[in-house]
Homo-oligomer: A and B are copies of this chain.
Amino acid sequence: MRVEIVAVGTELLLGQIADTNSQWLGEHLAANGLTSQFHQHVGDNHQRMVLAFRTALARSDALIVCGGLGPTQDDITRAAIAEVMNVPLERDEKIIDVISAMFASRQRSMPENNLLQADVPKGATIVPQTRGTAPGLICPVGQKVIYAVPGVPYEMTDMFERAILPDLLERQRLTGVSSVIKSRVLRTWGTSESALAQALDDRFDSLDDDARMTIAFLASGIEGIKVRLTARGDDEAHAVSLLEAEEKTVREIITRELGDIVFGVDDETMEVAIATRLLERKLTLGLAESLTGGLIASRLVNVAGASSWFRGGVVSYASEVKFDVLGVPEGPVVSEAAALAMAKGARRVLAADIGLSVTGVAGPDSQDGQKPGTVFVGLATPSGEQVTALHLPGDRPRVRSYSAISALDVLRRELDATHV
């Protein structure tokens, strides 16, 4: 099943908003063994929408249209699909009842505009709305199909999982050709994409003739470099077993060539990796942040339940805050000594088991004789203190972001190595 995605909206063409829907759909189609060979963006224009939909149906088996189902004059996806189906629009009274009831439950009356959302191409099946006012549509076109879903991401994802994906998988099953794709992401920090690629070069070559397994690298900024393994199996169990064997091989190669750089898998971010380790050992953490300015703290509190291991932090942006609040001795604040004193200060002031600190130069100018990108990470634990010096590339926001994940990785490695 080749599934094309068409995202509708002039704002996409003008670059006013990013199209996150096509990316999300592409990922979820692939994860379910469905192929997507083309995506399109088209504006809110009837003729051009019809052209885009016809182009898609000519080269794919199914088409998912995102957007243009709302209640305003711009929302003309329904009419464009009706033209492609060569059928009239018919007003569905049941949809009107549902939308009226939604407005009534908020003690508001339904604006007239919303009637448009009840216009349905003849022969289409409704996907009931649960999160917004616009229902989705399943529209047969010969042996092919057009799905229409709202452009609002959380309405779209709900309808895709609830109705579109099951319908696609059933159509796929009827074709008799099926395979299951499974993938796993190994998250790494502390090496370059080319070093990773070089370490896995032989493995890469050995996979070349075997389309069942692919390895890809994704440089993901402050989330590190991801190694994505994708297996295509005859069924779920087959795909999983291929994937597990490959993960084992790849992990062995990475660890042998580059050391302990894999910090998590799939959605396991660095902050989740830290949370897991601290929880296991019943340790609490306090931060002292200078150039990162609260970035580390704000990443940590994204983890649900952070209050059981995260005490808090001091954002010591001004030097006097380092001296007065954290007890750092007066002197250059971008230095190993300052980083150590900040970590000890955070541990003491915040009454935490572990103090982690970052001081450095985000740029563009040098400070205390240190160049932009120079960063010191201090760590104070019940068993001692240490400082790590880093030299990070990039502009001001990048140095700051890299500092945040690098500091957390210093803590992760220490926790893994020494069982603090």
Contacts and interface: CB of A to CB of B under 8 A. Distances in A.
A294 interface: yes
A312 B315 contact: yes
Interface string A88-125: 00000000000000000000000000000000000000
A413 B313 CA distance: 28
Q: How many copies does the complex hold?
A: 2
Contacts of A216: 11, 16
Given A37-B13, A37-B48, A293 B300 contact: yes
Interface SS majority for chain A: mixed
A19 B218 CA distance: 13
A278 interface: no
A28 interface: yes
Contacts of A28: 15
A292 interface: yes
A325 to B, nearest CB: 6
Interface in A128-161: none
A396 B43 CA distance: 34
A45 interface: yes
A39 B18 CA distance: 13
A394 to B, nearest CB: 10
Contacts of A311: 317-318, 320-321
Contacts of A316: 312
A295 interface: yes
A12 B41 contact: no
B314 A315 contact: yes
A24 B16 CA distance: 9
B15 A38 contact: no
A370 interface: no
A349 interface: yes
Nearest to A316: B312
Interface in A284-340: 284, 287, 289, 291-298, 300-302, 304, 306-307, 310-318, 320-321, 324-325
Given A38-B41, A298-B293, A302-B397, A315 B318 contact: no
A284 B293 CA distance: 16
15 contacts: A13-B38, A15-B23, A19-B19, A38-B41, A292-B298, A293-B302, A294-B295, A297-B315, A307-B317, A307-B318, A311-B321, A313-B315, A315-B315, A318-B350, A324-B349
